[in-house]
Amino acid sequence: MSEVSTQVPQDFEGSNKIKKRKDDAAKASGVLTRPKKKDKRRKKKKASQKIRQKAFWGLAHYIKNRGGEWVLRPRWKLLLPLGAIVLATAYLGTVGYLYWMHRYYLKCKETSLPDMFIYAIPNRIPFTSFSFLPQELDQYIINVRLGQREKLGNMLASSGNKNIYTILQGADLAPSNIEAQFEAAYVFAEILFRIDSAFVALDRTIPYIMQNKESAPKNLARYVQLCFKYDQDKRVIALAERYLPESGLNTELRIGLATAYAQALFQRGELEKANTVLEKNQLLGTVQGFILHIQIIWENGQQERAINKLLTYIRAGTEGRDHLLYQLARFFWEQGKKEDALETLKAIAASQPTDYKAYIYQLSLLTSETDQPRREALINTIISKFASNERAMLVLGSYSADAGDVALQDRISTLAYENRFPNLARFQLLLIETNLSKGNTSAALDQISNILHFNPTWYKNNEELRTSFNILRMITDFSCGKDELGKVAFRRIMEKDVLPMPMPMVVATARRLLKLNRPNEAKDILRIAYENNKQNQSILLELVKMDLKTESASTLGEHLTQFLDARRPPRYILNEAIDRLASDRFIFTPNRERLLADIKTMLLTRNLPQTEEEKGWHK
């Protein structure tokens, strides 16, 4: 293998000698030649490396300060243009994403790309409430956003896929979509059991309801109906006081709103104010207004005057005769004039042969032993006329359960099976309830075991029916002395079934538990129902009664405060509350002095019923 030559080329050696001679001559003369640019950059780089080093992929660098410490500094000359590129890319990417999501994923065909360019601009600084854009541009962006939300909301509201998400999301995005708001209110109240959320959805759509003159009366009636159903009288009063002074209301809308206003005032015991509203808005000529007027006369203690005025109105042959006759029958019933009430109901049945309620209401009056033949004849008449009417048979079954008439309930159940009514499960539950009312706990237990054995579809799929069944099962176990099984059933109800229970069912269940000497279970059920709706008078009445009985000063203050704000609380419970609050046992009740003053004021200024026991109709 040949050796590698290490000899330096002659030309290279000569050039170095020439350069060296020039440098020596320059030094001797005191003049140095200018260094080349590459040499300057190299030296500068070496010097710079001694005092700075790159960091974060060159976006920043560490610099050594005069004290010899390394300090991190951003490289603004690189960051500023890079940041602008990133922001522009992010903005365009956001625009593209929003357009794709709204147009193709959410399938909102009205989405436009120009709108998305505006929609993607943030008009608020994150985490603050200060606008940094000019007011005109800021408002324009808000309007574009609201418009797009409205499009999406209307699209979701009209979607065929009606699940909880699409209903609530559609209502949230489109407050002007009145139907969407009512659907959302139903979901909140009936499925999610959030009463406050239901009325938040409805209250924000009120301006849109009032703007649409054609549909306003119908939608207002729906809103008022929901308010009365969930004890939201104050909302009706606030709504009426807000819109009644306006001059632009049409006649139908004004009549509906004023009538609802008077009804809400009446239910809160402000009778004189309610009557003033009726007279001021000339509502005594309407059926609803006149009925409310004579109810006010009745509640003021002028019972004969109310009846005579009602009879005069009926004889005049005005419209709504059947509604007036029902009110007359109720007055006779409350006076204890059974025969007069029966004759009035017979007159309704004669004029309206298909009105099963006029027949069934008569049964509620025939309660004595001497009435047994008339009661049997009337039952036969009802069954012969309405045997194929499922709703009529359910109302008759409700009467039978309250009366504990097992023979009649068996007859009704047989008719239900023969006619193949869709709601056979309800007739099964009514039969169990009738046996419990009669005291036939063994028969009720057999029927419950039979249902559990066959495990019907309704038990698995129908939450309301399953809740009713579990309550009857718990009551039956406690009635039979099977306390452990009753406690298991109670825990099952507390975990799953309390919220789906309608408020009348909650009260009825609590009262049954109290009769069975189960006060702790009764209070637990009432407490959960109270948390769901703190304005329900029936729930509050039971809780206040239990607080007074158990001398629970810690909870009485809260419950009594809410109770005073409910509809016409009965006088006897308020008088008892005054006596107990004045005693030393309740000295630590929160807001004790204010509660005493409020109760005394209410007793003096409000027209209140003596007791909560009111004669009712089977509906």
How far, in Å, are 276, 281, 302, 331, 454 from residue 446 at the CA level?
Answer: 58, 59, 52, 42, 13
With contact defined as beta carbons under 8 Å apart, do 343 and 318 qualify?
no
Residue 69 predicted with pLDDT over 50: yes
**Helices (DSSP H) in 230-302: which residue ranges?**
233-243, 251-267, 271-280, 287-299
- Axis crossing angle, helix 195-203 with helix 216-229, rounded to the nearest 10: 160
Percent of the chain having pLDDT more than 90?
A: 37
Q: Which residues of 356-386 are buried (b: 16+ CB within 10 A; e: fewer)?
A: bbbbbbbbbbbeeeeeeeebeebbeebbeeb
Cα Rg of the chain, angstroms: 41
Distance from C-alpha of 275 to C-alpha of 280, rounded to nearest angstrom: 9
Distance from C-alpha of 277 to C-alpha of 259, rounded to nearest angstrom: 8
- Axis crossing angle, helix 390-403 with helix 372-386, rounded to the nearest 10: 160
pTM to 2 decimal places: 0.74
CA atoms within 13 A on the CB side of 211: 8
pLDDT band at residue 63 under the 50/70/90 scheme: confident
Number of H helices, E strands in the chain: 32, 3
CA 382 to chain centre: 39
Using DSSP's 3-state secondary structure scheme, residue 517 falls into coil
pLDDT score recorded for residue 165: 64
pLDDT score recorded for residue 12: 45
In this predicted model, what pLDDT tens digit does every residue of 386-403 receive, in sequence order? 999 999 999 999 999 999
In this predicted model, what pLDDT tens digit does every residue of 489-533 receive, in sequence order? 898 888 876 666 778 888 889 999 999 999 999 999 998 888 878
With contact defined as beta carbons under 8 Å apart, do 235 and 200 qualify?
no
pLDDT score recorded for residue 8: 43
With contact defined as beta carbons under 8 Å apart, do 198 and 189 qualify?
yes
Q: Which residues pair with 64 in a beta bridge?
A: 70
3-state helix vs strand vs coil in the chain, percent to 5: 70, 0, 25
Using DSSP's 3-state secondary structure scheme, residue 353 falls into coil
Residue 254 predicted with pLDDT over 60: yes
Average pLDDT value over all residues in the chain: 82
Residues 6+ apart with CB under 8 A from 465: 425, 426, 429, 458, 459
pLDDT score recorded for residue 23: 60
Residues 6+ apart with CB under 8 A from 197: 188
Residue 166 predicted with pLDDT over 80: no
In this predicted model, what pLDDT tens digit does every residue of 271-309 receive, in sequence order? 999 999 999 999 998 999 999 999 999 998 899 999 999
Give me the long-range contacts of 208-216 (CB less than 8 A, separation at least 24). 208/175, 208/176, 208/178, 209/178, 210/243, 210/253, 212/178, 213/250, 213/253, 215/178, 216/250, 216/253
Residue 347 predicted with pLDDT over 90: yes
Distance from C-alpha of 232 to C-alpha of 227, rounded to nearest angstrom: 5
In this predicted model, what pLDDT tens digit does every residue of 34-52 receive, in sequence order? 555 555 555 555 555 556 6
Distance from C-alpha of 388 to C-alpha of 393, rounded to nearest angstrom: 8
In this predicted model, what pLDDT tens digit does every residue of 471-494 receive, in sequence order? 999 999 999 989 999 999 898 888
pLDDT score recorded for residue 272: 92
Cβ atoms < 10 Å from Cβ of 43: 11
Average pLDDT of the segment spanning 150-174: 68
pLDDT band at residue 315 under the 50/70/90 scheme: confident
pLDDT band at residue 431 under the 50/70/90 scheme: very high
**Apex CA 351: angle with CA 347 and CA 353, to 5°?**
105
In this predicted model, what pLDDT tens digit does every residue of 75-110 receive, in sequence order? 777 778 888 888 888 888 888 887 777 777 766 676
Average pLDDT of the segment spanning 161-188: 77
Distance from C-alpha of 298 to C-alpha of 289, rounded to nearest angstrom: 14
Residue that the structure tokens 């309660």 belong to: 367
pLDDT score recorded for residue 78: 78
Sheet holding 60-64, edge to edge: 52-55, 60-64, 70-74
Nearest one of 185, 377, 429, 220 to 437, comparing CA atoms:
429
Percent of the chain having pLDDT more than 70?
A: 80
pLDDT score recorded for residue 127: 52
With contact defined as beta carbons under 8 Å apart, do 460 and 494 qualify?
no
Q: Strand locations in 215-341, DSSP E?
A: none
